[in-house]
Amino acid sequence: MSFFGFGQTAEIDIVLSDAETRKKAEHKTEDGKKDKYFLFYDGETVSGKVNVTLKTPGKRLEHNGIKIEFVGQIELYYDRGNHHEFVSLVKDLARPGELSQSQTFDFEFTHVEKPYESYTGQNVKLRYFLRATISRRLNDISKEMDIVVQTLCTYPEVNSSIKMEVGIEDCLHIEFEYNKSKYHLRDVIVGKIYFLLVRIKIKHMEIDIIKRETTGTGPSVYHENDTIAKYEIMDGAPVRGESIPIRLFLAGYELTPTMRDINKKFSVRYYLNLVLIDEEERRYFKQQEITLWRKGDIVRSMSQQATIATQRYEGSNSASAQAKEESN
Amino acid sequence: MSEATVADTRRLNSKPQDLTDAYGPPSNFLEIDVYDPQTIGVGRNRFTTYEVRMKTNLPIFKLKESCVRRRYSDFEWLKNELERDSKIVVPPLPGKALKRQLPFRGDEGIFEESFIEERRSGLEQFINRIAGHPLAQNERCLHMFLQDESIDRNYIPGKV
């Protein structure tokens, strides 16, 4: 019997098999704090041990089963009750019975698909975690361990520049150019603004990076805009024929890769906003979407990922044998 | 896989600027002064007019130089016309000063020198802010206010 604290209870601890060697990545939590979590990529195996420690020595722990789950889910803040799970794997560690002493269980989720990057935003959160549960009649004991997933890309094959002429008839004509349409997170935006006609009194010009998080579908779509950066590129009044250079280093800003229609639940897109301000504080602006992508840090991690991906397609036998060897 | 370790941050190529563009007069020249307040009339029928002088090289204005006389109610008329016909947020005018128009004041009320100067400055700010707005420049009422001898309140509102 376990009520009023007279029964047996236990503590669960999840330890990864490669906890010593695996890299950690910083990730912002919902309340803005930065924490470090183990970093995983798509296709990597998630393995380790679940330690169950009995609190009161000598007493037995009755249970209805012990299991561990690997979950990838999307949580919309305005609809917290509904979690949308896009990855859900279970491994049973123990059948219903009882534990007479503390015990350790091994687990392995082989070559787990992790299709999306972890994301914590203003109105939505996408997270991956391990959850070990001891089922009991009255109340379960469970422990969660969050991990962070990053999606890597290689240099895009096609990456055309953005060049456009915009303006207000007879008042202001400019031609803006950005050297690429797809930038990686540590890239540099190189561009220029060329003035064709200036009949207003411009005081200065800046370029902003705007992040737009879109949640919901159909009539209940909600956009949350956040100005990530404001960078002044010109101070003073330009005249016709002048060319203003742009050089904006992205590594200094908190950016994520562009995420389009993730599991049909949300999107995160980035825009460059070119703003001209005149002497009467009137603002003239032109917004342009750019695609951001995450580049692998080391070449090795890219080919490792490719190897795992081909193993997944080629067949299970040789791959799982190799994985079992690695985890021992 | 070969990748550049340092990004190419060299400037993009651009056409060299024409020297007449670089050193010539700018295309955005627009100056409006509100000055020389004159109080006309006697007793209770007095009112103050101001000279509104404009110099510009913007092609949208018919005259490159103009000089007209306007009173406070003319500025009010312009503000109302723009608020009704255009989509812009019209800046505020200096106050109507109704309290100053009540009798039994110790001073000259709305004909007090310091008040007129305050009002003149506010009107100058107002007209400069409005005249530089690309959308206001399309309205006939603005052109009539700045460049016609007198304001025809029965005009047909519209775009230039």
- Name the residue ranges covered by the structural domains of chain B: 18-145
Q: Does A314 map to a domain?
A: no
pLDDT at A2: 46
- CATH 3.30.1520.10 correct for B18-145: yes
Report the pLDDT averaged over residues A28-57. Answer: 93
Is the pLDDT confidence value at A313 over 90?
no
pLDDT tens profile A187-227: 999 999 999 999 999 999 999 999 999 998 888 899 999 99
B75 by DSSP, 3-state: which?
Answer: helix
pLDDT tens profile B17-73: 989 988 998 999 999 999 999 999 888 788 999 999 999 999 999 999 999 999 999
Is the pLDDT confidence value at A45 over 60?
yes
Chains A & B: contacts with CB separation below 8 Å: 73
pLDDT band at A307 (very low <50, low <70, confident <90, very high): low
B9 contact residues in A (CB cutoff 8 A): 188, 190, 247
Structural domains of chain A, count: 2
> Smallest CA–CA separation between B35 and chain A, in Å?
21
Query: Which range of residues forms the domain containing residue A228?
Result: 162-293
A145 plus A171 within the same structural domain? no
- ipTM of the prediction: 0.85
Closest-CA residue to A200 (of A232, A168, A175, A231): A168
Is the pLDDT confidence value at A325 over 60?
no
Taking the C-alpha atoms of residue A138 and residue A279, their distance in angstroms, rounded to an integer, is 70
Better-scored residue on pLDDT, A25 or A299: A25
A131 plus A35 within the same structural domain? yes
B137 contact residues in A (CB cutoff 8 A): 171
Report the pLDDT averaged over residues B81-100. Answer: 90
A224 plus A144 within the same structural domain? no
Q: Does A106 map to a domain?
A: yes
Query: Across the interface, do B133 and A188 touch by the CB < 8 Å criterion?
Result: no
Q: Does A83 map to a domain?
A: yes
pLDDT at A3: 53
Q: Does A156 map to a domain?
A: no
Q: Does A303 map to a domain?
A: no
Report the pLDDT averaged over residues A142-148. Answer: 96
B15 contact residues in A (CB cutoff 8 A): 194, 241, 243
Residues of B with CB under 8 A from a CB of A: 1, 3, 7-12, 14-15, 17-18, 21-22, 24, 26-28, 30, 58-60, 128-129, 132-134, 137
Q: Does A319 map to a domain?
A: no
Query: Across the interface, do B27 and A198 touch by the CB < 8 Å criterion?
Result: yes
Domain boundary among A93, A114, A149: A149
Task: Estimate to the nearest angstrom the gap between the alpha carbon of A86 and the chain centroid.
Answer: 15
A251 by DSSP, 3-state: which?
Answer: helix
Query: Across the interface, do B11 and A188 touch by the CB < 8 Å criterion?
Result: no
Report the pLDDT averaged over residues A259-276. Answer: 96
A201 plus A282 within the same structural domain? yes
A140 plus A16 within the same structural domain? yes
Taking the C-alpha atoms of residue A178 and residue A183, their distance in angstroms, rounded to an integer, is 11
Report the pLDDT averaged over residues A266-292. Answer: 96
pLDDT tens profile B102-151: 887 778 888 888 899 999 999 999 999 999 999 999 999 999 999 999 99
pLDDT at B42: 86
Is the pLDDT confidence value at A4 over 90?
no
Query: Across the interface, do A241 and B28 touch by the CB < 8 Å criterion?
Result: no
Residue A109: its H or E element: strand A103-109
* Mutant choice from B12, B23, B129, B138 vs A, greatest count of A C-beta within 10 A: B12
Q: Does A257 map to a domain?
A: yes
A218 plus A286 within the same structural domain? yes
Q: pTM of whole model > 0.90?
A: no
Q: Exposure pattern of A35-69 as b/e (b: 16+ CB <10 Å)?
A: eebbbbbbbbbbbbebbbebeeeeeebbbeebbbb
Query: Across the interface, do B27 and A199 touch by the CB < 8 Å criterion?
Result: yes
Domain containing residue A69: CATH number: 2.60.40.640
Residue in the block written with tokens 């997933």:
A149
A170 plus A283 within the same structural domain? yes
A97 plus A182 within the same structural domain? no
- Option in A172, A241, A278 nearest B18 (CB): A241
